[in-house]
Amino acid sequence: MNTEPTNTGKVFLIAGSEPLGSAGVQADIKAITRCGGWAAAALTCIVDEDVNQIKGIHYLPTDLIVSQAESFLSTVGADCIKTGVLPSAEIINGVAGVLRKYNQQPILIDPVIVNFAGEQLVSDEAIQAYKEQLFPLATIITPNFREAEFLLGHKLEDIEADLRWLSHWGSSVIVKSVDEGKYLVDYLYDKTTETITPHPKKKLILTDRNGTGDTLASAIATNLAKGEDLQTAVSRAEAYMNYFLAGPRYYISVGK
């Protein structure tokens, strides 16, 4: 009988809550738990939405967000920190202060700045704060291809050059869901080894893809928290996503 303790990595989330359970901190917690980690969280905002539209977003006070994070990190500690929705420059600056103080573990920044249609979700000031305050602290950033193009200021053209440019803040980067014909490809650029690894997935017809980016990022964060190197963490997260997307998963109505 194996009595060796398992490494259940603690992932601390700094992210928003939404009522559908398919994105935000709810999706993060599900992915972290399924991947064998322990999830804890500081909420940044509460989103009111149904399957048809976002009805409203209530920002939590920055000092409360910071205090939530301090309460956990100062007493329990994390093996990886992941950020999700950070809806204002003030909140981003507050979170950056926390991350500068607690920076002994991997930090995954999932920038929520544009939606899948390329529409900007946060202010110019918030995007600048991401660039100046958060990206330099990250172990890895995980933009989807629309966010990557927004940060680049042009369409993805030369994937190697574009990935290297996206790492110029100092972190590794994975660009999610690059459309390549029959496949969607997640491209990882590992800055420590200067290697690019494609992770192709066959396109699937999904009635609901809300939260898939959150799920992948949280799976990566969990594997990093369990002590895996970046290449292994991403490979195992991609394997989990193949199961998650193609196998049994929760479904919600697409609305009327």
Q: Which two tokens stand for residue 108?
A: 């995954």
24 within domain boundaries? yes
Q: Which two tokens stand for residue 127?
A: 């995007």
Q: Which two tokens stand for residue 113?
A: 């700045």
Per-residue pLDDT of 85-126, as tens digits, reads 999 999 999 999 999 999 999 999 999 998 777 788 899 999
94 within domain boundaries? yes
158 within domain boundaries? no
Work out the number of other CB atoms within 10 angstroms of the CB of residue 118: 11
Residues spanned by the domain of 216:
10-148+209-246
Q: Are 198 and 223 in contact (CB under 8 A)?
A: no
118 within domain boundaries? yes
Q: What is the reported pLDDT for 69?
A: 98
CATH number at residue 53: 3.40.1190.20
Place of tokens 């998650």: 244
Q: Are 172 and 163 in contact (CB under 8 A)?
A: no
pTM above 0.85, yes or no: yes
Domain count for the chain: 1
76 within domain boundaries? yes
75 within domain boundaries? yes
Per-residue pLDDT of 211-250, as tens digits, reads 688 899 999 999 999 999 999 999 999 999 887 776 655 4
Work out the number of other CB atoms within 10 angstroms of the CB of residue 54: 11
201 within domain boundaries? no
The percent of residues in the chain predicted with pLDDT above 70, rounded, is 90
